Amino acid sequence: MAFDQVVATPHIGGNTIEVAAHQGALIAADLARLLTGEGPHYALNAAVCDGFALDRERAQVSAERLDALASRPGPAVTDIQRKKGKKTNVAAAPTPSSEPGPVVAAPAEVVEAMAKIVSGFVEGIVTDEALVRFSADKDVTLHFLLTDLPLEFHFRLQDGAVTGDVTAPAETPELELRLRADVLDGMFTGRVNPMQEAMSGGLSFSGDTAKAMTLQQIQGDLSRVYAAVRDAAGDPGDLASLPRPGGVGTAPASHAGDGDVRHALVAAVGELYGQELITATGGNVSARVPGTENEIWITPSQLFKGDLRPELLVRIDLDGKRLEGELSPSSEWMMHCAVYKAKPEAQAVVHAHAPHATILANAELPFLPVSTEAAFFGDIPRIPFIMPGTHELADAIGTAIGDGWAVLMKNHGLLIGGRTLRRAADMVEIVDRSAEVMLGCWAVGKEPPSLPDDVVAMLRTMGDLVA
């Protein structure tokens, strides 16, 4: 602030003609979308758009929702005020404790009733003829942990045989589901939507995304077995009223202080979302936990990127074991971890659904050195489409990235690692903007002009440094 060459402006310094025109265009486009029944792209409180229609009266906000909003920290006029902790006209929410709260025991009769149902459920699964037939060409283990009762079970479908027990599996399962007893009961009786519970934190999933489809394929048979067992055992009681401690075997998510890398990660996600390089639920970002070699913070699965908060991030190790957080880690965690394992110097990984980079990959067009920034990357390696969230994709990413920092994935997007989170996010924008320039040249029938060979050679030697 004391330097003569620094000119500090108030916030209104950004109110230029160009910015005003750009904002007006965004607003006009969003209003046009509303008029055609689409959702706006730039609503700050996008959740209010669910079920919105211009021909209906505005929905009334419940008293409970208003109370919840009022409990949040109020806005600060400046960052200085926020850091000093000045009070605003809205009561601040209590700081989440990093210590686990007291675990309230569930009623013994409920535990006993659900234990009877779970035991019968597993017994029914392993002897069910339809599930045995289904398992003929399968090899997958599913592990269920009830987060509000001291119960867990697993079953394995393998080569025409089904095995299981009311314990954890001996080996790491392909699929692990942590869910409340009420969600388990509702999931197999048809009164609960598993996807909605996953979005709200009532159910979290980790494992191989491709093999997760197994659960969908046998949902009907599992529901049939569960219903028969439940009818025989009787109603387990009011499962919805059970207390909700932290997930089984999961440390409570710690509060993110001002210096926590999670704040930078959330800011990067917001920036990339605003640039439309990641979508509402597509794309994911991770960063190493400072001071560790084998732990990362990663964005949760299927959560709206426009309203991400530090406390919603999930901490996992490089084998995918969840260490903190109640939500499921991104289903793409395997390819993030593959990059960290292949490149120990990487401190951040961004997977973006960058449109121009994806078109370039799909069209099998080369990534050319059309600018000094593009020249740093060389011709970015690309891999064919492989099912997202699988070990096969992670292995391909780990191999393809080699000495570079970026990989293009056909029909999927772009993945970039970086020595810092800032650089990784910057490189995503550079690659997609460079791809846009290349596609523009080809679109008008012109070959994109590359930089001179000697300049390209010099810049490519600096590529690793730039990351």
> Is 199 a residue whose pLDDT tops 60?
no
pLDDT score at 60: 79
In a shared domain, residues 206 and 271: no
Packed helices 391-401 and 333-342: angle between N→C axes, nearest 10 degrees: 30
Are the beta carbons of 8 and 1 closer than 8 angstroms? yes
For residue 453, with 0-12 CB atoms within 10 Å meaning exposed, 13-18 middle and 19 or more buried, which class applies? exposed
In a shared domain, residues 265 and 189: no
- Domain of residue 436 covers 261-466
In a shared domain, residues 403 and 270: yes
Indicate the range of 28-37, 188-197, 458-467 predicted with least confidence: 458-467
CATH number of domain containing 314: 3.40.225.10
In a shared domain, residues 396 and 354: yes
Task: List the one residue out of 149, 141, 145 whose CA is nearest residue 125.
Answer: 141
- In this structure, is residue 406 part of a structural domain? yes
| Both tokens assigned to 367 | 């990534």
pLDDT score at 12: 82
Angstrom distance (rounded) from CA 363 to CA 379: 14
- In this structure, is residue 246 part of a structural domain? no
Query: β-strand 382-383 against 406-409: which pairing, if any?
Result: parallel
In a shared domain, residues 233 and 266: no
In a shared domain, residues 150 and 2: no
Structure letter (DSSP) for residue 300 = B
In a shared domain, residues 340 and 454: yes
pLDDT-based confidence at 272, cuts 50/70/90?
very high
Q: Among 191, 210, 241, which residue terminates a domain?
A: 241
In a shared domain, residues 15 and 153: no
- In this structure, is residue 103 part of a structural domain? no
In a shared domain, residues 306 and 201: no
Q: Average pLDDT of the chain?
A: 84
pTM of this structure: 0.57
- In this structure, is residue 162 part of a structural domain? yes
> Is 58 a residue whose pLDDT tops 90?
no
Angstrom distance (rounded) from CA 351 to CA 339: 11
> CA angle, corner 329, sides to 326 and 333, nearest 5?
160
Are the beta carbons of 154 and 187 closer than 8 angstroms? no
- In this structure, is residue 86 part of a structural domain? no
In a shared domain, residues 119 and 229: yes
| Both tokens assigned to 198 | 């996953």
Q: Among 241, 276, 300, which residue terminates a domain?
A: 241
- In this structure, is residue 82 part of a structural domain? no
In a shared domain, residues 152 and 211: yes
Is 348 strand, coil or helix?
strand
Count structural domains, the chain.
Answer: 3
Angstrom distance (rounded) from CA 352 to CA 304: 14
pLDDT-based confidence at 462, cuts 50/70/90?
low
Mean pLDDT of 52-69: 77
- In this structure, is residue 100 part of a structural domain? no
pLDDT score at 352: 95
Sign of CA dihedral 227, 229, 234, 240: negative
Q: DSSP H helical segments within 343-420, as ranges?
A: 355-362, 372-375, 391-401
Angstrom distance (rounded) from CA 201 to CA 178: 10
In a shared domain, residues 166 and 314: no
Task: List the one residue out of 197, 205, 196, 183 whose CA is nearest residue 328.
Answer: 205
- In this structure, is residue 443 part of a structural domain? yes
pLDDT score at 465: 58
CATH number of domain containing 198: 3.30.1050.10
pLDDT score at 454: 86
Q: Among 188, 211, 241, which residue terminates a domain?
A: 241
